[in-house]
Amino acid sequence: MKGEEGTARMKAMELLVALGDIYGAERLIEIESAQVSGASFKTIGDAGIRWLEDFATEGRVSVPAMVNPLGMDLTRWRSMGVSSQFYEKQMRIAQAYGAMGLLPVYSCTPYLAGHRPRDGQHLAWAESSATVFANSVLGARTNREGGPSALAAAILGKTAEYGLHLDESRKPKVLVRLESVPTHLIPVAGYLVGKAVGNRIPHIDGLNMIADQHKSFGAAIAATGAVSMYTFRRKGDRIPPKSRSFEETIVLGKTELMRCAEGLRGGDDWDLVAIGCPHCSPRELRSMASVLKGRKPLKNTDVWFCTSRRVFKTCPEAVAILRRFGRVLCDTCMVVAPIEEMYGRTATDSGKAAAYLPSLGRQKTSYRPTRELLEAISR
Ligand code: F3S
């Protein structure tokens, strides 16, 4: 491609070919969808805006492409405490993506917001928690793209065929036996497993998780480890995995989990309780609403429940209850919002947020199970 199809497509092609060369890809393959990260002004800054606006002069996506969370709720940014300066820069980013035809999903859970990939489909997704869910739970195939490479793939409708697009790269290398994990410590289990496996795909044995639990487990694994996929025993798989099929077996029991949870506990004096990393599902919003229904808010701290706008709209009753206790925010999250300009101490129920908030959010961070947080904000 020499530019006859436009500069944006040429640049996109150069980027994908360079990546393919680095990773030894033999060809480009078609993708069903792309998901682009780097959407908050906080994370991409002025240089990122210039790059996007330059691309947006003629770049147009050729497959469905979703955008990751922005740095603010598009309708409630003022009440969140976001400044007008931040708002203006953030809107330029949203407009640049819009001009290229990306869908304003602004969520890390596009699979809960009308964009659920199917088994075997090839994708170019960038958000680490969405990537691990797509590969591990949905059976789709995607590498953990960077923002620019996901955008390049969205423009061309293709990606380089390497890594998790190939069968041989999707085989688990480490067997992780998790023993007696209480449900409320599943995010901590993910945090611990990510640290233990590094960049090797684990096979998880001993945890039976529903989709929402996979969502938070996988997000934590991808935050503390450089891994975008795990395998696990599915219903009907009768035979337990044999240790000799793996290069290592790691056993993590309740003691290790409790020790890790204790280490993440932090203090009790929070400015903010932040729930919804990854973005809450309808089931999670409803389940929290059912706990809080009949209780009264304790106005001792601010509370954010983060979700996608699509899920927000499907759960009006739950949202109405949760709003008595805090803000139900869409389009954004506690990690990519400029939280450090508003708060200093945040409590979260997320293993991923517990990993990122101390650095990206400059927060003193306390991990607590969801139920404990709900009880702390109500009576
Ligand atoms: Fe999603 Fe933000 Fe967590 S993008 S996975 S809620 S850090």
Which of 335, 349, 359, 360 maximizes ligand 1 atoms within 8 Å of its Cβ, making it the mutation to test the pocket?
Answer: 335
Residue ranges in the chain modelled with pLDDT below 50: none
Buried b (16+ CB within 10 A) or exposed e, 341-361: ebbebbbbbbbbbbbbbeebb
Task: Tell me, in angstroms, the distance from the centre of ligand 1 to residue 27's CA.
Answer: 32
**CB within 6 Å of ligand 1 — which residues?**
68-69, 108, 129, 219, 277-279, 306, 333, 335-336, 352-353, 356
Tell me what pLDDT residue 3 has: 60
**5-34 tens-digit pLDDT:** 789 999 999 999 999 999 999 999 999 999
User: Which of 167, 197, 216 is the last residue before a domain boundary?
Assistant: 167
The count of domains in the chain is 3
**182-220 tens-digit pLDDT:** 999 999 999 999 999 999 999 999 999 999 999 999 999
Q: CB under 8 Å to 305, separation ≥6 — which residues?
A: 275, 276, 280, 285, 288, 322, 326, 327, 328, 329
Tell me what pLDDT residue 238 has: 67
What's the rounded Cα separation, in Å, for the pair 373 and 348?
8
Tell me what pLDDT residue 18 has: 97
Are both 158 and 269 inside the same structural domain?
no
Give me the helices (H) in the chain, please: 7-23, 41-56, 77-80, 84-99, 128-136, 147-156, 186-197, 211-224, 254-264, 282-292, 309-314, 316-322, 351-360, 370-376
User: Which of 167, 200, 222 is the last residue before a domain boundary?
Assistant: 167
User: For 334, phi and psi rounded to 5 degrees?
Assistant: -70, -20
Are both 112 and 183 inside the same structural domain?
no
Are both 57 and 176 inside the same structural domain?
no
Tell me what pLDDT residue 352 has: 98
User: Which of 167, 190, 212 is the last residue before a domain boundary?
Assistant: 167
State which residues form the domain around 198.
Answer: 171-263
Which is nearest to 222 in space by CA: 143, 151, 148? Answer: 143
Tell me what pLDDT residue 237 has: 72
Are both 217 and 294 inside the same structural domain?
no
